[in-house]
Structure 1
Amino acid sequence: MDGLLINTEDLYTVAHNSMLAEHGKGPMPWSVKITLMGLPGTESAKRFLAWSGLPYTPEEYYAETTRRLEELFPTAEFLPGARELLTYLDLHGVPIALATSSHAHTFRLKTGHLHDAGFAFFKKHIVTGDDKRVAPGRGKPHPDIWYVALESLNKEMLENHEETEPIKIEECLVFEDGVPGVTAGIAAGATVVWVPDERAIDAMGNDKAEELISGHGEILKSLKDLDLSKYGL
């Protein structure tokens, strides 16, 4: 979701940099940013504090950045191609689920004003970072969140008595922008469509990026560049 469907990764950067500036540091480089993207909040805070040396516990830092972000999240907007993709998939009856490291409270802040514009298409198939179906400590880069999302889709088909075989993870496309999510999607056994920020690739290096995705999917500059015909859609 963050950095793939909506521009909230930019809002996270604003919050981190404001904290750094108050201590005479910053801004946060992309070499650090890419290690935080897609991680659960407290895990992201731990990594950020290990780099920055700011005088907070992970819990304190997470709480303070969350407070600042709560004012920013309602301004979130769809990224190019995101709303069009969701609309297309819904129109053609393609089952979709959302698996995000964001907790339920922040998810609502980020998407409430965008619900009717696209997030309504996910219906009840939304797995957040604090979802009890995902064991503690098993968020991205572990694959568990993707399995839970797929289970939700298959459960609905069973309840509706649809005459079809359950969807297999190998038949799924996982859309991601961050390395932890890409790693999780590959570990799950899905095909990954990776849409990273170009600054992330610059920081990571093209060779490392290609090595990570090699044989498991593709890298796109934007969701607008997605060729769904490659996947029979």
Structure 2
Amino acid sequence: MAFRPVTHVLFDMDGLILNTEDLYTVAFQNIVSQFGKDYTFDLKLKLMGLQTQETTEMIISALDLPMTPEQFIEESKKQFDALFPDAKVMPGAKRLIEHFHNNNVPIGLATSSSKESYDLKVNKHHKELFSLFPYKTFGSSDPDVKNGKPHPDIFLVSANRFPDKPKPDQCLVFEDAVNGVLAAKAAGMQVVMVPDPRVPEHLRADATLVIDTLLDFKPELFGLPPFKS
């Protein structure tokens, strides 16, 4: 497949830079276990990349939980407070972000997380790494992001935060979630997918490129500065 050269790069966060998708699974299972329910991977697949309110409503509906969205969010916050501060960086993420930063490739963060959730995940161990992103968009708390993934809003808003306002086809997105891939594609951007191994093949088809980890990415494929050997 031929890839188009790009000038700007946008990163998702959960499950791509940090292992927080695993932590969301633990948190939600802890909540639904109280009602004898299972937070399955099939359900998770539908939710990855969505904003907080949408995620909450879908879990309650899918599992028929006797909770209001407000109660679920309150329970979730208790779980997140315990789990998120010790989130780990995913393989290859630090190397790639630092590579782009050191080679003056404009990079931005485009996460469906709220600012509050981001702070929980980043402030204890990862402030230095995330300080390399001069532009950050938090989908669940940014009024400019009207619709969550798979809608294109977050990537279009994020691209517009760069001072030189690149066109969508000048931007490359890194994503782990199916909804995120669809959002990037809807925005008119190329997207590199680093999926959970359990994501079925047919749900990877919309990605421009699929790799196992960020360690496998070759920047020169998209006209970006290569790693020095």
Matched to 2:151, the amino acid is H
Counterpart pick for 2:156 among 141, 147, 156: 147
- Following TM superposition, where does structure 1 have runs of at least 4 consecutive aligned residues deviating by more than 4 angstroms? none
Tell me which protein shows more helix as a share of its residues.
Answer: 1
Tell me how far apart the structure 2 counterparts of residues 209 and 230 of structure 1 sit (CA, whole Å): 19
Q: What percentage of residue pairs aligned between the two structures are identical?
A: 40
The Cα shift of 1:31 comes to 0.8
Structure 2: runs of 5 or more not aligned: 1-12, 225-229
Supply the RMSD in Å over aligned alpha carbons: 1.2
Relative contact order, higher structure (CA 8 A, sep 6+): 2
Contact 1:143 1:188 in 2 (8 A): yes
Structure 1: runs of 5 or more not aligned: 158-165
The Cα shift of 1:133 comes to 2.1
Tell me which protein shows more strand as a share of its residues.
Answer: 2
Q: Deviations over 1:94-150 (max 9, x none)?
A: 00011111111111111112011x101102x10102112223xx1211111111111
**Secondary structure at 2:107 match in 1:** coil
The Cα shift of 1:69 comes to 0.7
Contact 1:38 1:140 in 2 (8 A): yes
TM-score (norm 2): 0.88
The number of aligned residues is: 210
Counterpart pick for 1:19 among 25, 31, 40: 31
Tell me how far apart the structure 2 counterparts of residues 181 and 25 of structure 1 sit (CA, whole Å): 27
Tell me how far apart the structure 2 counterparts of residues 206 and 145 of structure 1 sit (CA, whole Å): 25
Contact 1:42 1:59 in 2 (8 A): no
1:75-224 equivalences under 5 Å are 75-112=86-123, 113-116=125-128, 118-123=129-134, 125-129=135-139, 130-135=141-146, 138-154=147-163, 157=164, 166-199=165-198, 201=199, 205-210=200-205, 212-213=206-207, 217-224=208-215
Tell me how far apart the structure 2 counterparts of residues 134 and 24 of structure 1 sit (CA, whole Å): 35
TM-score (norm 1): 0.86
